[in-house]
Amino acid sequence: MRLLTSLWNFSRISLQSKLSGNASYGVWKTSGAILGRCGYGTQSEGPRPISRFPIPYKKDLPYDIVELMEEVEKKGGFLPNVFKVMAHRPNEFRAFFAYYDVLMNKESGNLSIADKELIIVATSAKNNCPYCVAAHGALHRIYSKNKTLADQVIVNPELADLTPRQRAMLDFALAVAKAENITDEHFSKLEEHGFDREDAWDIAMVTAFFAMANRVAHVTDMRPNEEFYTLGRLQREKSEE
């Protein structure tokens, strides 16, 4: 399985925050309390279980899955609950994250990682998915260095402080998410803002994949990690060193 580069880059960013001596980023402190909650085979995080399906114990998981989960947890300071929930079906875990990796780490085209995260936020909000909104809202704040835009899009994309380019991108993504009839006019509006047909494919595939992810989150009742809610919101303090 390929490395989940965007998640690992996110983990690297967050690890750097932890090592910078930033007291306000206490979410990244690898205390026993935080790491204890991330142990495999744990069903609860807070007042509700993280999934209505069983979370496998680490000793029962295939080696490649354990290796990936340990690396993500080590670098990020916590393990996103989607890894634990999807581990219920190891083969589907591998397929899910392999396709995630292909979509999110494509190095050609005109979509940045921040663009893709904003697409995920907008369409996941439309699909009423708390997990993906919380997780990818955090990722958008980190990659875009914009603390407010994801929140604005979640509440009302029509009133969000979007550039014309971002608005065209999200209008197309939301049309796909709502299963509208996609016409040449949709493509023409994208082209007016520098997106070609291959970019339209990328927007559609990110939207479609996360429409599936949203529904997986619904049926499993997947709960967001508490850490997601504060990531990228607090001003980083400079190290005194």
CA distance 179 to 97: 24
In the chain, the domains with their CATH numbers are 5-104 (1.20.5.810), 113-220 (1.20.1290.10)
Claim: this prediction has a pTM higher than 0.75: yes
H-type alpha helices, the chain: 5-19, 32-37, 63-76, 81-86, 90-104, 113-126, 130-144, 149-155, 164-177, 184-191, 197-220
Task: Give, as one character, the DSSP assignment of residue 78.
Answer: S
Q: Exposure pattern of 85-117 as b/e (b: 16+ CB <10 Å)?
A: bbbeeeeebbebbeebbebbbeeeebbebbbbb
Tens digit of each residue's pLDDT, the chain (241 residues)? 444 445 545 544 443 433 333 322 222 222 222 333 335 555 555 678 999 999 999 999 999 999 999 999 999 899 999 999 999 999 999 999 999 999 999 887 999 999 999 999 999 999 999 999 999 999 999 999 999 999 999 999 999 999 999 999 999 999 999 999 999 999 999 999 999 999 999 999 999 999 999 999 999 999 999 999 999 987 654 444 4
